[in-house]
Amino acid sequence: MIIRNFQGILISLILTFISCRGFSQDSDSVMIRKIFDQELLHGQCYRNLNELCSRIGPRLTGSPQAGKAVIWAKELMESYGFDSVYLQPVMVPRWIRGESEKAYILSDGKPNLLNVTALGNSIGTGIGGIRAKLAEVQSLEELDSLGVEKILGRIVFFNGRMDPTLISAGQAYGKAGVQRNRGPAKAARFGAKGVIVRSMTNLVDDYPHTGATAYEDGVPRIPAIAISTLDAGELSRELKRDPGLDFYFETHCQMLEDVLSYNVIGEIRGHEFPGEIIAVGGHLDSWDLAQGAHDDGAGCMQAIEVLRLLKDIGYRSKRTLRAVMFMNEENGLRGGLKYAQNALEKNEIHIAAIESDNGGFTPKGFGIDAADEKIEKIRGWAPLFKSYLIYDIAKGGGGADIRPLKNAGVPVIGLRVDEHRYFKYHHSALDTFDAVDQRELELGAAAMTALVYLLDQHGL
Ligand SMILES: [Zn+2]
């Protein structure tokens, strides 16, 4: 009798568990359907991105436009009636490009102009420019192998391309990108006068792509530019014909004193666990060559959309949800560092931080950097995303702005997108609003909203 009762209790417990799980999965899937439907029918992130791009445009850190973007983003979130919207002050670098760059080689005695752009944070050559012979290398390792005698007094030309055989464009960018990040400082150690870097794009075209370079303390700072891939090819061919040719370039960029700027934060307070925060963000600053539509206007507008959308469908969050527009991702990461420092000082508990900073393309999944059991918990939600063609939920990812939070132990998640076309636009004059597709942008916003909903419901 006792045994039968025990079995009965056990069976009814199992049935209850199954039905609860079933109910939970069902209600989650109904809610996620609602999120996607509402976004695809009445989404606002595309419209908001248009406004950010056309009314404000390029938002280089510390520039008046970046300041305008701060006010605009704050007013936008206020208009949505979030519980609080506030600015988080942060001192940021103020790098300016100055007059346009000029570069040429002499072909048959005549200057052959090349498409170049100064690298972010670079010093300028000033009037008079730099004229020197070149040393072409394909990697930092090749630079090392040449040593001082072959570099001293020359301009180093880093011509390593993004590896087209790597299926992850982001990985190819990371591998080739070290030439831009660390190349100028390394070349300066060998006595180089300046640096040219092949633009980080898979395409062969006329557009130079900028991006930050990092100088090293105790090493001379030398001017550095990026050259379009088409002109990089031409330069390399000319150099083979005439290894002694002179290269001339002139840049007028400079680093000014730090200025005050802000992260912009919008918040919906949780009604059950207000002390637990789920942050979702992008970076509000952009390079100055275009509108910063994909990088990262898209991510910012998606982050705001997550909160707006949940509010719009009448969802009351258990936990506190935050949309964070980070400042200065591109050439200093000061906003990301300040946000994490502030969170630590206030003993805030972030259960997760999510960033979208790979362009506003079709969402494919989420890259997670967290303890294995947390990754497994999120992977357990994979069936809920399948009908939205989101399959790629895996270890590894995040975003530059949330890396400081990760270093403080917060689980971080990056939106994974179809990034094959991203580096066509990235950091170049092509990164304009018309390059963003409404449906792709909205699907990304809905995917992030669904993830935030699941994190809010089930914790991490
Ligand atoms: Zn970015």
- Ligand 1 centre distance from Cα of residue 357 (Å): 5
Percent of the chain at pLDDT exceeding 90:
93
- Taken in order 289, 290, 291, 293, is the CA torsion positive or negative? negative
For the segment 321-346, the average pLDDT, to the nearest whole number, is 98
User: What span, in angstroms and rounded, lies between the C-alpha atoms of 287 and 428?
Assistant: 8
- Ligand 1 centre distance from Cα of residue 160 (Å): 22
Quick check: 139 pLDDT over 70?
yes
Quick check: 5 pLDDT over 60?
no
* C-beta separation of 296 from 328 below 8 A: no
Quick check: 16 pLDDT over 60?
no
- Ligand 1 centre distance from Cα of residue 326 (Å): 10
User: What span, in angstroms and rounded, lies between the C-alpha atoms of 115 and 92?
Assistant: 29
Asked if omega into 296 is within 30° of 0 (cis), the reply is yes
* C-beta separation of 453 from 32 below 8 A: yes
- Ligand 1 centre distance from Cα of residue 400 (Å): 8
For residue 7, what are the contacts with CB-CB under 8 A and spacing of at least 6?
Answer: none
pLDDT at 23: 47
- Ligand 1 centre distance from Cα of residue 212 (Å): 11
Which is catalytic among the residues 267, 305, 329, 355? 329
Percent of the chain at pLDDT exceeding 70:
95
Q: Is 373 in the active site?
A: no
pLDDT tens profile 404-432:
999 999 999 999 999 999 999 999 999 99
109 or 69, greater pLDDT: 69
For the segment 177-182, the average pLDDT, to the nearest whole number, is 98
**Average pLDDT across the chain, whole number:** 95
Per DSSP (E only), the strands in 142-252 are: 155-158, 194-198, 224-227, 246-250
Quick check: 296 pLDDT over 80?
yes
What are the Cα distances from residue 201, in Å, to 78, 169, 365, 419?
A: 38, 9, 23, 12
Binning pLDDT at 50, 70 and 90, where does residue 8 land? low
**Alpha-carbon dihedral 360, 317, 76, 415, rounded to 10 degrees:** -10
How many CB atoms within 10 Å of residue 329? 26
* C-beta separation of 401 from 353 below 8 A: no
Binning pLDDT at 50, 70 and 90, where does residue 21 land? very low
Quick check: 372 pLDDT over 70?
yes
Quick check: 3 pLDDT over 70?
no
- Ligand 1 centre distance from Cα of residue 133 (Å): 34
* C-beta separation of 180 from 198 below 8 A: no
pLDDT tens profile 200-257:
999 999 999 999 999 999 999 999 999 999 999 999 999 999 999 999 999 999 999 9
User: What span, in angstroms and rounded, lies between the C-alpha atoms of 360 and 452?
Assistant: 18
Binning pLDDT at 50, 70 and 90, where does residue 19 land? very low
- Ligand 1 centre distance from Cα of residue 411 (Å): 20
Residue 435, classed as helix, strand or coil, is helix
